[in-house]
């Protein structure tokens, strides 16, 4: 597969997944504010903080109000990670590989983009925000379903899954991190109904509420953290994402599990092993936020290695035609 | 909507013989239209446009910041070509394709046609399409032009004429394939009733044509595109998709040890045949334009050594020159000893003193075209031009006579076209596609371009023309 094509498929999927997760970010907060006891102020600042685009937001919007943050995360083309920007980028990537993906996939990216464009141009208000976020998630799921059902599960598909799951691992870690930024009114409130509300909102925005209940039955901060980081069967849990990403990486390069042929496999393998042989203790001992921060940095290095291994326009080296030496 | 009221007026109409009188091939179609409930035709037109939007069939440079794109203007009233007409077109195109190739091969080898005084030498050497580096090249089986789009027009006498030969990188075939898809979704019942010859075989015919350029049992074929900002990118992508070949940009390719390779996730892979959709002067910065960033350094050298095949071969622009077009009947005569089956439109060469004098005196009646422009650029339609425009045109002709030809303003035939909720006649031309691999293949159909503005004669998509499906009946 052409390096450029592999790169475009990978990024197309990263961008679609990113758009979906931004919708989830906003949802965490919308879910929370609906459940807030009277008299508590809405917190929109944590949302911006967790995306890592805090500086760009503050310089352009100043105060983190619901309207500002929603605009910044969903409709702002000057924010390269906003939902609209993601769809524009996804569509350009899809356009440049139209001959490789199925026409159903292209049409879905196109419809998804048109939906976002139209919704944004009509303006997002409290009344239609919920519908918009639900539509973004549904369109992303539809794209994923169409990809799985209409694209051969070969090299291109593995690049697609790799892009999607690395993006998802990063974003699940950030959704979890939102909690860290959410300042509870007082320390004594940890473990109170209000605290529980926040954890449930988190699970809900990761579509994890039902699966979590099935496994644990009641909300406890430790269990929620363990579930979102270490579960190997829940598709939005970080460990699950790493396991499947690694499967795809090995499928692409053809190397055995437990070995590595390139930097990408080496770095991802080590990161996955850390979670395979880690427990909640390891995640929270030095502070959950610090753990997640470090995890995101390591994940970035995996991304860099993938880019260098498969996408970078390396010079094509002369092919040695085995000249016989006597 | 009352179809009996449609009046073809003074023009040849492709669907109507006279007021309210359908032509033999169109009776069924028009009866179907007439039987639709009020407003239904407009509804189907809108449905067709939605399909086009969802398919992402857009034309031109795409993607501003707001992502507003022009969907390709499409009209749901098809053009019908009866079998007997098509037979004549097809044999005329075969003849022309053979003659064009014999001519190009001669120009880059012995130049007998020049030595025998059939065409003045300076006309060849002064043309922008003639490439000196191509002298003496021997493409496989001596065929240079494998893909051509030959523009035809029909005028009041009901006769088809050739208007120009596009032998470099003709585009538009994607719209033929897509227009048919849209029509099948829009009027399935008509396709059941009619025997319309299918066009879907084009990609596999094209692939066969490209594969025939290599001796290998399973050559690696690619399409070379300038990239997503090219106005025909949609087509490059669609053809690659339907042929199952890689769509590459110049940066994906490199010449290593004399042959061409593409960069893949598993290292480099050799390429045997390139269907290039980049103009030849951009192909290789080492051989042609040094400022080209769209090309592959060393590609021409690899091509000369037979390490890679190119379609179309570089140099085919020599026959894509509107001044050379004027000599096509003589060219057919010279190489094939036959009379042209499809006649040319009378053409005045401004490089010829007598012709030039006539052109300058009759600018208000003539259409003036630049010999080397495509897409309807550099065209002046005398009867529709202002005094100022005609004077500017005269100045341009006098400054560079070799660069201009003129033709009488043709009364192009018309096809009924949906305007608001009724039909009005609009002028059309027809671009069929011809492939030449082991044999000449003519796609049974083509791009019917329609000038959507009332009275306009300019059908080029770059100038606001639209598109219709072309039904060749079996």
Is a pLDDT exceeding 50 seen at residue A289?
yes
Å between A93 CA and nearest CA of chain B? 10
Nearest alpha carbon to residue A162 among A303, A3, A20: A303
Tokens of A127: 């009344």
Contact A110 B246 (CB under 8 A): no
pLDDT at A324: 32
Separation between Cα atoms, residue B402 and residue B14, nearest integer Å? 36
Q: Is the pLDDT of residue A47 over 50?
A: yes
pLDDT above 90 as % of chain B: 78
- The mean pLDDT value for B117-127 works out to 94
> For residue B227, which residues of chain A lie inside 8 Å, CB to CB?
96
Token code pair at residue B303: 């091509």
β strands within B105-189, DSSP E: 147-154, 160-166
pLDDT for A44 equals 86
Q: How far is B302 from chain A (nearest CA, A)?
A: 15
Tens digit of pLDDT for each residue in A201-216? 888 888 899 999 999 9
| Contact assignment for B65 to A98 by CB distance below 8 Å | no
**Does any CB of chain B come closer than 8 Å to the CB of residue A183?**
no
Is the CB of residue B167 less than 8 Å from the CB of residue B316? Answer: yes
Q: What is the pLDDT at residue A259? A: 86
Q: Which residue has the tokens 């974003």?
A: A171
Reported as a single tens digit per residue, the pLDDT across B247-263 is 999 999 999 999 999 99
Q: Please judge whether A96 and B246 are an interchain contact, meaning their C-beta atoms are less than 8 angstroms apart.
A: no
Who wins on pLDDT, B345 or A34? B345
For the segment A178-194, the average pLDDT, to the nearest whole number, is 65
* Confidence class for position B441, pLDDT limits 50, 70, 90: very high
Instruction: State the pLDDT confidence band at A317, using cuts at 50, 70 and 90.
Output: very low
Sign of CA dihedral B263, B269, B272, B275: negative
Residues in chain A within 8 Å Cβ distance of B262 = 2
Q: Cβ A99–B240 below 8 Å, yes or no?
A: yes
What does the pLDDT read at residue A49?
84
Contacts of B268 in chain A (CB under 8 A): 316-317, 319
For A123-152, the pLDDT digits (tens) are: 888 788 999 999 999 999 999 999 999 999
pLDDT at B65: 37
Contacts 24+ apart (CB under 8 A), B211-216: B211/B273, B211/B437, B212/B140, B212/B437, B212/B438, B213/B139, B213/B140, B213/B146, B213/B273, B213/B309, B213/B311, B213/B437, B214/B140, B214/B272, B214/B273, B214/B309, B216/B272
Do residue A316 and residue B254 have CB atoms under 8 angstroms apart?
yes
Closest CA to B432 of B47, B98, B162: B162
Q: Please give the share of chain B, as a percent, with pLDDT higher than 70.
A: 95
A201-215, B88-102, B349-363: least confident range: A201-215
Which one of A106, A252, A310 has the shortest CB-CB distance to B56? A106
Q: How confident is the model at residue B416 (pLDDT cuts 50, 70, 90)?
A: very high
Is the pLDDT reported for residue A325 higher than 80? Answer: no
CA distance B99 to A241: 62
Query: How large a percentage of chain A has pLDDT more than 70?
Result: 90
Give all strands (DSSP E) within B201-278, no chain letters: 221-224, 246-248, 253-256, 259-264, 267-270, 273-276
In the prediction, which pLDDT does A184 show? 54
* Average pLDDT rounded to a whole number, residues B88-107: 98
User: Measured between alpha carbons, how far is B283 from B224 in angstroms, rounded to an integer?
Assistant: 10
């Amino acid at each position: 597969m052409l390096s450029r094509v592999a790169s475009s498929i990978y990024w197309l999927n990263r961008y679609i997944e990113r758009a979906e997760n931004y919708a989830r970010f906003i949802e965490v907060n919308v879910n929370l504010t609906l459940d807030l006891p009277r008299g508590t102020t809405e917190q929109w600042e944590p949302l911006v903080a967790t995306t890592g685009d805090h500086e760009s937001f503050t310089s352009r919007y100043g105060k983190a109000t619901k309207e500002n943050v929603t605009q910044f995360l969903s409709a702002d083309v000057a924010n390269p990670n906003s939902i609209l920007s993601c769809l524009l980028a996804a569509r350009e990537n899809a356009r440049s590989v139209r001959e490789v993906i199925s026409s159903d996939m292209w049409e879905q990216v196109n419809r998804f983009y048109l939906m976002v464009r139209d919704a944004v141009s009509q303006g997002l208000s409290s009344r239609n925000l919920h519908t918009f976020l639900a539509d973004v998630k549904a369109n992303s799921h539809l794209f994923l379903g169409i990809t799985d059902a209409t694209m051969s599960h070969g090299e291109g598909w593995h690049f697609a899954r790799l892009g999607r799951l690395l993006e998802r691992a990063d974003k699940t870690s950030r959704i979890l991190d939102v909690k860290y930024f959410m300042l509870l009114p007082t320390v004594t409130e940890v473990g109170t109904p209000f605290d529980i509300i926040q954890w449930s909102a988190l699970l809900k925005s990761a579509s994890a509420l039902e699966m979590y209940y099935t496994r644990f039955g009641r909300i406890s901060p430790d269990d929620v953290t363990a579930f979102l980081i270490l579960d190997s069967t829940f598709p939005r849990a970080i460990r699950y994402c790493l396991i499947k990403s690694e499967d795809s990486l090995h499928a692409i390069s053809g190397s055995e599990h437990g070995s590595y042929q390139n930097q990408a496999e080496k770095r991802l393998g080590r990161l996955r092993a850390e979670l395979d042989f880690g427990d909640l203790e390891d995640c929270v001992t030095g502070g959950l936020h610090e753990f997640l921060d470090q995890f995101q940095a390591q994940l970035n290095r995996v991304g860099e290695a993938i880019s260098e291994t498969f996408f970078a326009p390396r010079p094509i080296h002369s092919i040695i035609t085995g000249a016989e030496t006597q | 909507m009352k179809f009996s009221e449609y009046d073809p007026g003074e023009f040849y109409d492709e669907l109507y013989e006279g007021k309210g009188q359908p032509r033999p091939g169109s009776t069924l179609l028009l009866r179907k239209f007439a039987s639709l409930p009020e407003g239904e035709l407009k509804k189907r037109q809108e449905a067709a446009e939605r399909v086009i939007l969802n398919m992402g069939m857009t034309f031109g440079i795409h993607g501003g910041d707001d992502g507003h794109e022009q969907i390709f203007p499409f009209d749901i009233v098809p053009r019908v070509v009866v079998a007997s007409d098509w037979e004549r077109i097809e044999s005329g195109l075969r003849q022309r394709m053979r003659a064009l190739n014999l001519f190009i091969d001669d120009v880059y080898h012995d130049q007998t046609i020049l030595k025998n005084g059939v065409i003045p030498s300076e006309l060849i050497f002064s043309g922008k399409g003639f490439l000196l580096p191509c002298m003496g090249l021997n493409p496989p089986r001596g065929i240079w032009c494998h893909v051509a789009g030959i523009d035809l027009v029909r005028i009041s006498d009901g006769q088809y004429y050739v208007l120009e030969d596009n032998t470099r990188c003709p585009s538009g075939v994607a719209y033929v394939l897509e227009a048919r898809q849209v029509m099948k979704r829009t009027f399935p019942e008509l396709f059941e009733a009619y025997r319309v010859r299918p066009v879907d075989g084009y990609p596999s015919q094209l692939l066969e044509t490209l594969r025939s350029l290599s001796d290998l049992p399973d050559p690696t074929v690619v399409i070379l595109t300038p990239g997503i900002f090219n106005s025909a990118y949609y087509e490059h992508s669609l053809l690659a998709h339907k042929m199952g070949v890689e769509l590459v940009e110049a940066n994906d390719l490199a010449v290593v040890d004399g042959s061409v390779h593409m960069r893949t996730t598993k290292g480099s892979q050799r390429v045997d045949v390139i269907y290039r959709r980049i103009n030849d002067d951009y192909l290789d910065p080492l051989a042609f334009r040094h400022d080209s960033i769209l090309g592959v350094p060393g590609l021409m050298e690899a091509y000369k050594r037979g390490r890679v095949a190119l379609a179309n071969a570089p140099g085919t622009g020599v026959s894509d020159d509107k001044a050379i077009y004027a000599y096509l009947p003589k060219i057919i005569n010279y190489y094939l000893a036959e009379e042209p089956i499809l006649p040319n439109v009378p053409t005045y060469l401004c490089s010829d003193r007598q012709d030039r004098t006539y052109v300058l005196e009759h600018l208000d009646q003539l259409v003036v075209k630049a010999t080397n422009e495509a897409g309807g650029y550099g065209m002046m339609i005398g009867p529709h031009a202002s005094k100022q425009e005609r004077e500017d045109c005269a100045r341009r002709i006098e400054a560079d006579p070799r660069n201009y030809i003129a033709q009488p303003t043709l009364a192009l035939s018309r096809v009924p076209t949906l305007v608001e909720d009724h039909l009005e006649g609009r002028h059309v031309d027809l671009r069929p596609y011809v492939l030449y691999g082991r044999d000449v293949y003519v796609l049974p159909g083509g791009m019917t371009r329609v000038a959507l503005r009332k009275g306009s004669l300019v059908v080029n998509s770059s100038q606001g023309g639209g598109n219709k499906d072309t039904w060749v009946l079996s």
